[in-house]
């Protein structure tokens, strides 16, 4: 049974990891540097808006759906009889830990603090500068994890 659904789920997870990785990459190389160049209140307000808008059904389906499939692939990899199980397991774990867990443990709490802050206050400006450094550093890690996951899952599928 596991081996019957594994190839299709691996393709779906590979695409999901690639989509999330691409989105996060865009934030690392374009969105955050652009927001950092704006006045603090303006950049902060823009990021607050982004954080509200991104919680939409399409993003959540891809992000959470990929997480669920990766969890399945990670748990079943040791029992799979089809080739590439080690690669699939490693890719799934890279996404689960490096993208999903880091998001929940690091980026979301930073987003929550940013949302609660007043963009036009002195404290808001200090928070924004801290946020830019910390959020972007954690995001770089999520990018790397998503790219590693995509590559490992693709390698597992090809094996």
Using a cut of 0.85, tell me whether the model's pTM lies above it.
yes
Query: How deeply is 1 buried, as exposed, middle or buried, from its count of CB atoms within 10 A (0-12, 13-18, 19+)?
Result: exposed
Q: Which whole number is the average pLDDT over 120-143?
A: 97
* Residue 1 confidence (pLDDT) above 90: no
pLDDT-derived band at 82, boundaries 50, 70, 90: confident
- Give the C-alpha separation, 115 to 134, whole Å: 15
Domain count, the chain: 1
**Could you tell me how many helices (H) and strands (E) the chain has, helices first?**
8, 0
Average pLDDT, the chain: 96
Between the alpha carbon of residue 124 and those of residues 49, 95, 107, the distances in Å are: 15, 32, 17
What range does the domain containing 58 cover?
Answer: 2-158
Q: Which whole number is the average pLDDT over 56-64?
A: 98
- Give the C-alpha separation, 122 to 132, whole Å: 16
pLDDT-derived band at 83, boundaries 50, 70, 90: confident
- Give the C-alpha separation, 27 to 54, whole Å: 12
């Amino acid at each position: 049974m596991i081996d019957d659904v594994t190839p299709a789920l691996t393709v779906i997870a590979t695409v999901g990891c690639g989509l999330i990785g691409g989105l996060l990459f865009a934030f690392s190389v374009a969105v955050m540097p652009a927001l950092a160049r704006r006045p603090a209140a303006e950049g902060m307000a823009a990021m607050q808006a982004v954080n509200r808008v991104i919680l939409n059904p399409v993003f959540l389906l891809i992000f959470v759906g990929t997480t669920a499939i990766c969890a399945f692939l990670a748990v079943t990899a040791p029992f799979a009889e089809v080739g590439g199980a080690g690669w699939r397991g490693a890719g799934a774990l890279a996404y689960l830990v490096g993208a999903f867990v880091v998001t929940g443990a690091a980026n979301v709490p930073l987003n929550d603090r940013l949302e609660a802050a007043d963009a036009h206050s002195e404290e808001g400006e200090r928070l924004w500068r801290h946020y830019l450094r910390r959020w972007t550093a954690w995001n770089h890690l999520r990018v790397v994890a998503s790219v590693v996951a995509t590559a490992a899952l693709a390698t597992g599928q090809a094996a």
